[in-house]
Amino acid sequence: MPTLILVRHGQSQWNLENRFTGWWDVDVTEKGVAEARAAGQLLKDKGVLPTRAFTSVQKRAIKTLHLALEECGRLWIPETKDWRLNERHYGGLTGLNKAETAEKHGDEQVKVWRRSFDVPPPPLEAGSEFDLAGDPRYAGIDVPNTESLKLTIERVLPYWQAEILPELAKGETVIISAHGNSLRALVKHLSSIPDDEITGLEIPTGQPLVYEFDAELNPGDYYYLKDA
């Protein structure tokens, strides 16, 4: 039975500091390391062992994947990194403290930027300290300067269809270590969640979420592995 495991990276330094992170490459905290290891131990304990791995090109997701795979004895499985699994780009909000941003722009405006489906934050200015145009991992890519959840979905789903779904069709147990919004995009698609409801979905850090597929690649309802 094809199985999909989604894991949001363990707590990052900017999660801890309550800052907008997006595409900026922030490391995991000690708590994040522990969450990733616990995820791997849970995979081992439940006997849900990945045979194929995908992750973004961001450190927090890559480290989470490697720590989890190490814990369940699966570091050796094939792994693909791709920018299309990156977190949503938070544009000009990148690096800002969320509470301070709310004080400056008002709770309602920040809520729109964070939780609306198709309204992106203000764009990141070219030459900003958080501008990734010169980052070698994005060579040849038109790096966005802001993204809504809708725009994030528009890059995640084609990648899912072209690269990940064919692995599930082979009967693989696929693990994706990624981010709150790139995983939200997949859950929206797989569980047919309406636009106005998906922004309220919170996927906790370091908690494996599982879909099982039938022979026609229809997904069942997702569940958290800790509850299985």
Query: Which residue numbers are catalytic?
Result: 9, 87
Report the run of H or E that residue 17 belongs to, with start and end: none
Encoded tokens for 155? 């890059």
The 10 Å Cβ neighbour count of residue 150 is 16
Strand-strand pairing, 209-212 and 52-55: unpaired
Encoded tokens for 1? 């039975």
Would residue 115 be called left, alpha or beta, if left means φ above 0 and alpha means ψ between -120 and 50 degrees?
alpha
The 10 Å Cβ neighbour count of residue 143 is 15
How far apart CA 76 and CA 64 sit, in angstroms, is 15
How far apart CA 149 and CA 202 sit, in angstroms, is 13
CA quadruple 95, 117, 205, 172: dihedral, nearest 10: -120
The answer to whether the CB of 203 falls within 8 A of the CB of 209 is yes
Would residue 207 be called left, alpha or beta, if left means φ above 0 and alpha means ψ between -120 and 50 degrees?
beta
